[in-house]
Chains A and B, each alone.
Chain A
Amino acid sequence: MLNEVVPSAFDFGSLALALFAGAIRIGTPFLFVSLGECLTEKAGRVNLGLEGILVCGAMTGYAVSLQTGSPWIGVLGAGISGLVLGAFHGLVCSLRGVNDIAFGIALMVFGTGLAFYLGTPYIQPQAPTLPAFALGDWSTNSQLRNALEINVLFLVGVVLAGLLHWGMASTRWGLVLRLVGDHAETARALGYRLIPVRVTATAAGGFLAAVGGAYLSLYYPGSWNEGLSSGQGLMAVALVIFARWRPWRCLFAALLFGAAGALGPALQSLGITSGYYLFNAAPYVLTLVIMVITCRPDRTISGAPGELSLTR
């Protein structure tokens, strides 16, 4: 069946271009969520609730943008909603006996439910969306121009990845964060308090994840509906493992995942429709393969924060 629809001369150039465009377009939310998860995990906690925060951020961003007419206030509103939910995760997980992974699942259910509930009136109307830089105006190829239409948030994300990389490596604040995540006993012995650091990191991580959600609803695909997220918040956890907890590598991992996510739609636009669902599962297969390659049962992964329950 597959052979019938493949054109005789398969257009690899178009496919490569579509994958490149997709890497940036679909990879941007991955970038923000993975940076958020990276920050959280560096402090020694896992927040699976980023999935719920992302959906909540998408709804909030869209709603605020619609009400105020400014997509940027929408992004800020989304970030604040994520900050609140992230701080909530951080605070509750500071209680004794609360498992951060399990609570993340609960937050995922709650955040999604809240977003679906409050977002019901926003499914129809069209909110103002985020602007993009048209970097491809010099070209006459419409596909290339389309691919080089790069959203501002992507550039913000790139800067942020570099900033976080530098901040974690060479600032006092970054060192405290890493110490708390790597060896809580030492941090305590040096007089640092664990809970405020962890709550701050989780809240900041929530902020970033929600901004990633706002990108989904305000740029690509660019509307709010209940099927908006396809598990980006959860895949971010795997992505961070792949990036070995380095913000800079999160950027490349996000681009890779974006390209994998673009495979299905790209092939569809080239006329290959038969394996649509299977190609759309490419990011999940890729995540799984990457995790199988990077993880080992007998030792923890290099670069993993020592206090992380995920990799013990």
Chain B
Amino acid sequence: MRIFLLRLTAKMLPALPTLCAIAGALLMFVVFLALQGKPALEACQLIYVGAFGSGFAWENTLQRAAPLMLTALCVAIPARTGLIIIGGEGAVALGGLACAVIPMMLPAAFPATPALLLMATAALVAGGAWIALAGWLRQYRGVNETISSLLLAYIALALFNHMVEGPLRHPESLNKPSTPPLPEEYLIGSLPGLDVHWGLFWGVLACIAMYVLVRHGVFGFSMSVVGGNVRAARLVGLPVNRIVLMACLLGGGAAGLAGMMEVAAIHGSANSALLAGYGYSGILVAFAARHNPLAIIACALVIGGIESSGSLLQRRLDLPGATTLVLQGLLFINLLAWESLTGWLGVWRLRLLETTRNPNRAVHA
């Protein structure tokens, strides 16, 4: 029995930094609120209630988690090749814009399915190309991809605002500049039996597909080689540049798709409501998931839940709207800081396994 427990502990050890991080973030959050005399524990409880407490809360959370899964892939997939891309928001904006432009160019009464396919393709290409540009700048011009992707995101947002408020503006959108609304039949509906749009399905599917690619595909393996050691990758003859570009294309495409889903399922046209920060939250989701596509699904639910509980905190406890942002920041900081435990984990695991082999002679070294 004891041996079984020890083995189980050894198996679970890799989860230790994440658990410590969650505990640390919650503790800091409670202390932060308690210092100001705010009801800290009640706030934590409300975050849970607002995120997962009711069917309505769940739907709200899932609605937010759907784009987060896709924008997190925009960070996680390039990260497998060693790139830190933080410009997902730009890919979301361009994806949404591309999706809103396509119906304007189609003839009237164009059937919905091919139209949606075209819209998705346009969003994938727009988002993918934008992130791939950051990858290209890094591989061929030596420009740091973290900064260039963020600059490209700012430029994309400017382009988006320019197009929506200028050439593409619908004359009837007076108070809130928007592109012309999508035709009714091109809108993406809800999943059967849920008040959550199909974007959730595609988000989960994309995460699973990327997991299979990363863990079981040859391409996924070569991405890990490039990310692990570029020189080794070059020595064995891997086309490093092409692999990096492909990873950026995939990630950016996912973020572009997130923009398309938001436009076609929620807003109905491209307008500034699309720029709700999903690209930035996706960074946190990807880091929390340690760039594992399957873990992204769970992490997107947690972060989406935290974000959707914000309005409840505001209403019930009169806390500022940025409360959930503070919690996210604490979570992010803790996740990275506890990462330093990883170096010790191997040692502890070995010791535990050693003890299981010689249960009577525990090792003290």
Show the binding face of A for B, using Cβ within 8 Å: 1, 48, 92, 95-99, 101-103, 105-107, 109-114, 116-117, 120, 230-231, 234-235, 237-238, 241, 274-278, 280-281, 284-285, 287-288, 291-292, 295-298, 310-311
Contact = CB atoms under 8 A, between A and B. Distances in A.
Contacts of B86: 105
B163 to A, nearest CB: 9
A97 B162 contact: no
A109 B328 contact: yes
B192 interface: no
Secondary structure of the B contact surface, majority rule = helix
B283 interface: yes
Contact of A48 (B146, B284, B332, B339): B146
A107 B333 contact: yes
A109 B161 contact: no
Given A102-B287, A296-B141, 17 more contacts: A96-B343, A102-B84, A106-B332, A109-B280, A113-B329, A116-B325, A117-B325, A120-B321, A231-B150, A234-B150, A275-B166, A281-B159, A284-B155, A287-B151, A288-B143, A295-B142, A297-B141
B269 interface: no
B322 interface: yes
A98 B328 contact: no
A95 B325 contact: no
16 contacts: A98-B336, A98-B339, A103-B337, A110-B332, A111-B329, A112-B325, A113-B327, A117-B323, A120-B320, A237-B147, A238-B147, A275-B162, A276-B162, A281-B159, A288-B155, A296-B141
Nearest to A280: B158
Interface string B331-349: 0110111011011000000
Contacts of A280: 158
State which size class the interface on B falls in. Answer: 35 or more
Q: B138, B158, B325, B328: which has the most chain A beta carbons within 10 Å?
A: B158
A173 to B, nearest CB: 28
A116 B141 contact: no
Contacts of B337: 92, 95, 98, 103
Best-buried of B284, B340, B343 by chain A (most CB within 10 Å): B340
Contacts of A102: 84, 287, 336
Most buried by B among A95, A112, A117: A117
B320 A116 contact: yes
Pick the most buried of B84, B138, B140, B332: most chain A CB atoms within 10 A of its CB. B332
Contacts of A230: 154
A235 B323 CA distance: 27
Given A116-B325, A292-B141, A274 B148 contact: no
B183 to A, nearest CB: 27
A34 B105 CA distance: 46
B158 A278 contact: yes
